[in-house]
Amino acid sequence: MSKCIGCGRDLSNDDIGATKKFINRGATEFYCIDCLAEHFKVERSFIEEKIEYFRAHGCTLFPKK
């Protein structure tokens, strides 16, 4: 299991997908959603909404649960 390079938390598939989507598709180190939100100076809920949007549109980075 990968860990967030910002805070060390265990990462979910959504965290990994979000790092790829928002930072770099080829990323090999990942951030959790909280650290991504901090990085982009947005609310965590903003990132979560984007993830749900991409999931609803069939983005392969965010498999349906």
Q: Which is nearer to Zn ion, 32 or 51 (CB)?
A: 32
The dihedral through the CA atoms of 61, 15, 21, 54 has a sign that is positive
The CB-of-31 to Zn ion minimum distance in angstroms stands at 5
Q: Is 3 left (phi over 0), alpha (psi -120 to 50) or beta?
A: beta
Judged by CB under 5 A, does residue 36 bind Zn ion?
Answer: no
Considering only residues 16, 35, 37, 51, which one is a binding residue for Zn ion as defined by CB under 5 A? 35
Contact residues for Zn ion (CB under 5 A)? 4, 6-7, 32, 35
